[in-house]
């Protein structure tokens, strides 16, 4: 049939659906004491436009108990039926749910089908037709089951029944636009500026833990392939997942990760083979003696590594062998109990025998910087190296929070001492959990601090040539292990739940693109501090101020939202030691707001980049310091009465009104908080008398004060006097006169 796709022999990930077992040429599933309804939400599914039909050959000793299930939309509410659009077709009835009620609609019919039968569900125009063994048995108006544009394949099986599926195919009319969509083969569009692209010249692989349970989310797939060059499975490579029953291996989900990585030019990191957690019940409750446990572990390691030979580049062989609290000795576990402390070294030997080309890692948590846990890890791996155990490196997990994050210097020192043992290091599972509200939302200031923590770890990695991989434990805050493992915490990853890059992403991107490679001492240029838009080193409280210099930050970062933050991309401006609100940071220029609390006289300004402070430079604060903003060749930033920008070819008429924009207000009659935008009601007006001249002729000032909605921006509204030409404009606040850029009047 044109357009037909056989989904059994090319079943791909359909066999990964919970409860479906794939073997060559057939799928099977069975129900215990409850109905079983395995559905392949992980794909492949039909991406629908117009008509289609799905045909399956089902076999069961109780044929009336088995159904082909198609789902147009999965459950999306609290109750199982909410949003669920589903149809089950069996030998004598079709049943459907429309998502609005728990009650289904039954369409009975009679056939002679039995034993092995073929059932087809076709959507033709506005009708759904059911065919049994090629004969139409029912047709009814489609209640909109597939309006989502998708159809997921599944089966429904009554209690105590076994189903075998020997054929499953979808057909679409020739020339139609429907397709069979296979998530793990989706190729993400590359931006050329993703983290993976920025890290490539550094010989650093940027990676993420991925989870095929989320492969039905195309944003997820697009983000991973665009940003990362390395995938580790969050769970799919672990013991319980890969060996669900004794000596029975299932690499279905694992292979989806590998397939996706391959389709997107990504490498694969393996995690893990020997851990105290994620062990299946068949093992821990299995009453095995030590010899048996040892041979189970060796078989597991060998089988998994053989399966991934040539597919993965490295593996965490032993994971978290040391306890999570002092004295950080080997933690009690099934493996320690059964095999004794030699299990660690033995596991590496078996792994090396299984695949001598695989790089083998030890992975652990809580010892990323310096300290007792870090020493314990160091001593463990040093012992292994000295004993000639085949160990290539150490994974530093980096599940951290802001208050207790290890410092960049300590992480760097730890990486360096591991390098001295001849070991590589990976930042293997980074996330930085933040306290969140009940909606999972973190404080903006915490998001900024989080960015600084990410930048520090990246800078430590870049400073050590043996740091070859940097992975985050997940991609988006929508799918992270943190909220369930650390209640009250979340927002730990570089992308938010809507896949918007967070400040943490910007920080990683900046740290990767900074040519300096590692944080360097920021240097404020000589005469490098001036009022924003001007040239004078004289400022007033609340003014925006420019700092010019070098190494002022890792890279360019614009402030996000109001009120302004005091840390951007790891950079702070310290005014007499206290951080001031920031508008913009870049290696060569920083814009900050001078706090309203600054007293008249000299103040000291420092730039601190990733914790490294510059020398202090002085600026002079006075009551007012008006500085008209300029553009082009000393043209004043002025709006004409029609709100267009005044220029030599767009002059204002005498008698019309202008808005002049400047920096450096005097005292205000309605004070505004530092870093906060000015409000419109009541306006914040200049307390000192403000006057204006154009071409030396006085202009009537109708308003002088802060521009509502902006930080530190002053506006003066004035009436143009009877003058003509490109003329100097000057504003005077109290006794302080501004610069004199030109404005055009004609
Ligand atoms: C976590 C996964 O993220 C969870 O989905 C799972 O339920 C438990 O394991 N250290 C490790 C990882 O080495 O394997 C853990 O992953 C997180 C802590």
pLDDT tens-digit series, residues 410-430: 999 999 999 999 999 999 999
Instruction: Report which protein residue has its CA nearest ligand 1's atom 3.
Output: 481
Kindly report, residue by residue over 300-341, the tens digit of the pLDDT: 999 999 999 999 999 999 999 999 999 999 999 999 999 999
Nearest atom in ligand 1 to 238's CA: 14
Centre of ligand 1 from the C-alpha of residue 234, in Å: 7
* Tokens at 298, concatenated: 């060796």
Centre of ligand 1 from the C-alpha of residue 277, in Å: 9
481 lines ligand 1 (CB under 6 A): yes
For residue 1, the model assigns a pLDDT of 40
Is the predicted pLDDT of residue 12 greater than 90, yes or no?
no
368 counts as catalytic: no
Best CA proximity match to 660, nearest among 697, 618, 704: 704
Average pLDDT value for residue range 545-554: 86
137 lines ligand 1 (CB under 6 A): no
In a mutational test of the pocket of ligand 1, which residue from 315, 473, 477, 479 has the highest number of ligand atoms less than 8 Å from its CB? 473
Instruction: Report which protein residue has its CA nearest ligand 1's atom 12.
Output: 234
Instruction: Report which protein residue has its CA nearest ligand 1's atom 9.
Output: 235
265-275: b or e for each residue (b if 16 or more CB lie within 10 Å)? Answer: ebbbbbbbbbb
Average pLDDT value for residue range 126-132: 96
For residue 524, the model assigns a pLDDT of 81
Kindly report, residue by residue over 555-569, the tens digit of the pLDDT: 778 887 789 999 998
429 counts as catalytic: yes
Kindly report the pTM of this predicted structure: 0.72
234 lines ligand 1 (CB under 6 A): yes
In a mutational test of the pocket of ligand 1, which residue from 397, 485, 486, 492 has the highest number of ligand atoms less than 8 Å from its CB? 485
Residue 434's contacts (CB-CB under 8 Å, 6 or more residues apart) are: 401, 402, 442, 443, 446, 447, 450, 489, 490, 491, 492
Please tell me which residue in 320, 368, 424, 686 is annotated as part of the active site: 320
Of 14-28, 48-62, 463-477, 482-496, minimum mean pLDDT range: 14-28
Is residue 94 helix, strand or coil?
strand
Is the predicted pLDDT of residue 528 greater than 90, yes or no?
no
**Cα–Cα distance measured from residue 411 to residue 416, given in angstroms and rounded to the nearest whole number:** 9
Instruction: Report which protein residue has its CA nearest ligand 1's atom 16.
Output: 234
Centre of ligand 1 from the C-alpha of residue 94, in Å: 42
Is the predicted pLDDT of residue 490 greater than 80, yes or no?
yes
Centre of ligand 1 from the C-alpha of residue 431, in Å: 12
Centre of ligand 1 from the C-alpha of residue 261, in Å: 20
Centre of ligand 1 from the C-alpha of residue 59, in Å: 39
235 lines ligand 1 (CB under 6 A): yes
Instruction: Report which protein residue has its CA nearest ligand 1's atom 13.
Output: 319
Instruction: Report which protein residue has its CA nearest ligand 1's atom 5.
Output: 481
Centre of ligand 1 from the C-alpha of residue 160, in Å: 34
**Cα–Cα distance measured from residue 556 to residue 510, given in angstroms and rounded to the nearest whole number:** 7
Nearest atom in ligand 1 to 399's CA: 18
Nearest atom in ligand 1 to 480's CA: 3
Is the predicted pLDDT of residue 113 greater than 80, yes or no?
no
Is the predicted pLDDT of residue 517 greater than 70, yes or no?
no
Please give the backbone phi and psi of residue 663, each rounded to the nearest 5 degrees, phi first.
-120, 155
* Tokens at 128, concatenated: 């759904």
For residue 520, the model assigns a pLDDT of 64
DSSP per-residue codes, 29-64: EE-SSS-B--B-TTS-EEE-SS-EEEEEEEE-SSGG
Mean of per-residue pLDDT scores for the chain:
93
Centre of ligand 1 from the C-alpha of residue 648, in Å: 64
Burial of 247 (0-12, 13-18, 19+ CB in 10 A): exposed
Kindly report, residue by residue over 572-589, the tens digit of the pLDDT: 999 988 999 999 998 889
Quick one: CA dihedral 516, 522, 528, 534, positive or negative?
A: positive
Is the predicted pLDDT of residue 386 greater than 90, yes or no?
yes
Best CA proximity match to 244, nearest among 43, 16, 400: 16
Best CA proximity match to 270, nearest among 458, 426, 479, 466: 426
Question: Could you tell me the pLDDT band of residue 179, with boundaries at 50, 70 and 90?
Answer: confident
Is the predicted pLDDT of residue 14 greater than 80, yes or no?
no
In a mutational test of the pocket of ligand 1, which residue from 275, 481, 486, 493 has the highest number of ligand atoms less than 8 Å from its CB? 481
Quick one: CA dihedral 361, 365, 369, 370, positive or negative?
A: negative
Centre of ligand 1 from the C-alpha of residue 223, in Å: 21
In whole angstroms, what separates CA 585 from the centre of its chain?
23
319 lines ligand 1 (CB under 6 A): yes
Instruction: Report which protein residue has its CA nearest ligand 1's atom 7.
Output: 481
**Cα–Cα distance measured from residue 720 to residue 723, given in angstroms and rounded to the nearest whole number:** 8
Question: Could you tell me the pLDDT band of residue 516, with boundaries at 50, 70 and 90?
Answer: very low
In a mutational test of the pocket of ligand 1, which residue from 210, 233, 235, 318 has the highest number of ligand atoms less than 8 Å from its CB? 235
Is the predicted pLDDT of residue 3 greater than 60, yes or no?
no
């Amino acid at each position: 049939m044109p357009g037909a796709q056989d989904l059994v022999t090319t079943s791909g990930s359909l066999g990964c659906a919970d409860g479906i077992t794939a073997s060559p040429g057939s799928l099977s599933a069975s129900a215990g004491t409850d109905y079983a309804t395995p559905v392949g939400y992980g794909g492949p599914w039909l991406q629908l436009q117009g008509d289609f039909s799905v045909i399956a050959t089902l076999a069961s000793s109780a044929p009336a108990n088995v159904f082909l299930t198609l789902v147009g939309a999965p459950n999306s509410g609290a109750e199982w039926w909410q949003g669920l659009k589903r149809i089950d077709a069996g030998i004598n009835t079709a049943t459907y749910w429309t998502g609005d009620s728990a009650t289904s609609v039954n369409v009975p019919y009679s056939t002679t089908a039995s034993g092995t039968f073929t059932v087809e569900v076709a959507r033709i125009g506005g009708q759904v037709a059911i065919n049994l063994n090629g004969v139409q048995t029912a047709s009814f108006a489609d209640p909109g089951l597939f309006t989502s544009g998708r159809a997921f394949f599944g089966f429904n099986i009554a209690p105590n029944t076994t189903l075998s599926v020997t054929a499953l195919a979808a057909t679409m009319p020739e020339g139609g636009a429907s397709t069979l969509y296979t998530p793990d083969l989706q190729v993400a569009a590359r931006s050329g500026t993703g983290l993976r692209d920025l890290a490539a010249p550094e010989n650093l692989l940027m990676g993420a833990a991925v989870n095929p349970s989320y492969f039905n989310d195309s944003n997820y797939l697009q983000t991973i392939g665009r940003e990362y060059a390395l995938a580790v499975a969050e769970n799919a490579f672990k013991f319980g997942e890969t060996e669900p029953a004794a000596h029975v291996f299932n690499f279905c989900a694992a292979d989806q990760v590998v397939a996706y990585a391959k389709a997107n030019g990504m490498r694969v990191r393996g995690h893990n083979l020997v851990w105290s957690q994620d062990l299946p019940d068949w093992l821990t409750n299995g009453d095995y003696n030590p010899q048996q446990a040892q041979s189970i572990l060796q078989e597991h390691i060998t089988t998994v590594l053989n399966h991934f030979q040539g597919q993965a580049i490295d593996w965490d062989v032993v994971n978290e062998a040391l306890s999570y609290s002092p004295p950080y000795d080997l933690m009690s576990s099934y493996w320690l109990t059964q095999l004794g402390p030699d299990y660690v070294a033995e596991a590496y030997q078996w792994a090396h025998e299984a695949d001598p080309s695989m790089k083998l890692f030890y992975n652990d948590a809580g010892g990323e910087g310096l300290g007792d846990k870090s020493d314990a890890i160091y001593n463990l791996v040093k012992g292994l190296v000295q004993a000639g155990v085949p160990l290539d490196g150490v994974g530093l997990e980096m599940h951290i929070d802001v208050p207790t994050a290890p410092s960049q210097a300590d992480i760097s020192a730890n990486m360096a001492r591991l390098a001295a043992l001849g070991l590589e290091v990976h930042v293997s599972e980074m996330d930085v959990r933040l306290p969140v509200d009940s909606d999972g939302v973190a404080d903006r200031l915490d998001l900024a601090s989080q960015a600084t923590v990410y930048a520090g770890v990246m800078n430590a990695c870049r400073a050590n040539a043996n740091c070859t991989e940097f992975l985050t434990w997940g991609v988006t805050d929508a799918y992270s292990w943190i909220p369930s493992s650390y209640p009250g915490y979340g927002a730990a990853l570089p992308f938010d739940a809507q896949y918007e890059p967070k400040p943490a992403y910007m920080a990683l991107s900046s740290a990767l693109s900074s040519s300096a490679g590692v944080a360097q001492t920021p240097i404020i240029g000589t005469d490098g501090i001036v009022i924003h838009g001007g040239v004078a080193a004289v400022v007033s409280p609340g003014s925006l101020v420019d700092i010019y210099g070098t190494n002022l930050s890792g890279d360019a970062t614009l402030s996000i939202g109001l009120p302004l933050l005091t840390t951007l991309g790891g950079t702070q401006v310290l005014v007499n030691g206290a951080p001031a609100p920031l508008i913009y940071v870049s290696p060569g220029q920083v814009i900050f707001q001078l706090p309203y609390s600054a007293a008249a006289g000299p103040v000291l300004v420092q730039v601190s980049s990733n914790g490294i402070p510059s020398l202090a430079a002085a600026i002079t604060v006075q009551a007012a310091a008006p500085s008209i903003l300029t553009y082009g060749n000393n043209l004043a930033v002025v709006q004409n009465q029609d709100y267009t920008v005044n220029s030599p070819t767009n002059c204002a008429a005498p008698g019309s009104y202008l808005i002049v924009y400047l920096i450096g207000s005097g005292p205000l009659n309605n004070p505004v908080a530092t870093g906060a935008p000015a409000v419109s009601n009541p306006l914040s007006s200049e307390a000192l008398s403000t006057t204006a001249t154009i071409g030396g002729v006085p202009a009537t000032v109708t308003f002088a004060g802060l521009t509502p909605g902006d930080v530190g921006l002053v506006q003066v509204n004035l009436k143009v006097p009877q003058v003509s030409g490109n003329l100097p404009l000057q504003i005077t606040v109290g006794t302080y006169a501004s610069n004199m850029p030109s404005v055009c009047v004609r």
